[in-house]
Structure 1
């Protein structure tokens, strides 16, 4: 059985932040900039709190069956909530979207690489 890679995006909004928490998030914003967004096992947080109260966590998980994506999504939501709760940040409207990369359509470059692998194999 092959390993599947899942990308999970967890979105939500900060809620009820104190002025100190808001200032802390503004100060740490450069390390959570959208231009640095990546999918990681521990989850990568991005936000632009100066513009709007929304945040996004990006998680990278794996599983062996297609159904494993459901558990991966639930774990990602719990991990995002735990990260926020540990820091005392209020939040609301947590949602997630999961993608099984083994089912994702290949782009032009991916199709060329797959065709080349077939012709040499």
Structure 2
């Protein structure tokens, strides 16, 4: 599983797109999901898109995860320009557990 964060700016949003984004704005809905979630400022300039991408094969890496996350972003249909992409491979995250009764 990969978690991909894409930071970017909206470009040339039409009135319908602006209205849909403002109507759907919910800061508490921020999560890494398969379809991806947006967070953005009320001026609809900058955004952050968070997407969860399953590793389809053992050899999958950041490049494949980025491509699939970009496809999810494009599927939303909002004109944009990507500024930065960050990918975390959750298979390499170690969870430290507290020891029992010491």
- On whether the aligned pair clears a TM of 0.5, the verdict is yes
User: Which aligned runs of 4 or more in structure 1 are off by greater than 4 angstroms?
Assistant: none
2:86 aligned partner: 97
Aligned residues of 1:9 and 1:56 also touching (Cα < 8 A):
yes
* Displacement after TM superposition at 1:95 (Å): 3.4
2:39 aligned partner: 46
1:59 aligned partner: 51
Aligned residues of 1:40 and 1:59 also touching (Cα < 8 A):
yes
Unaligned ranges ≥5, structure 2: none
* Displacement after TM superposition at 1:66 (Å): 5.6
Unaligned ranges ≥5, structure 1: 117-121
Which structure's residues are more often helix, by fraction? 1
SS at match of 1:29: coil
Aligned residues of 1:8 and 1:59 also touching (Cα < 8 A):
yes
* Displacement after TM superposition at 1:53 (Å): 0.9
SS at match of 1:24: helix
Name the TM-score, length of structure 1 as normaliser. Answer: 0.65
* Displacement after TM superposition at 1:102 (Å): 2.5
Aligned residues of 2:10 and 2:44 also touching (Cα < 8 A):
no
Pair 93,62 (structure 1): closer, same or farther in 2 beyond 3 Å: closer
Q: How many residues align?
A: 99
Provide the aligned C-alpha RMSD in A: 2.4
* Displacement after TM superposition at 1:90 (Å): 2.0
Name the TM-score, length of structure 2 as normaliser. Answer: 0.74
**Structure possessing the higher radius of gyration over alpha carbons:** 1
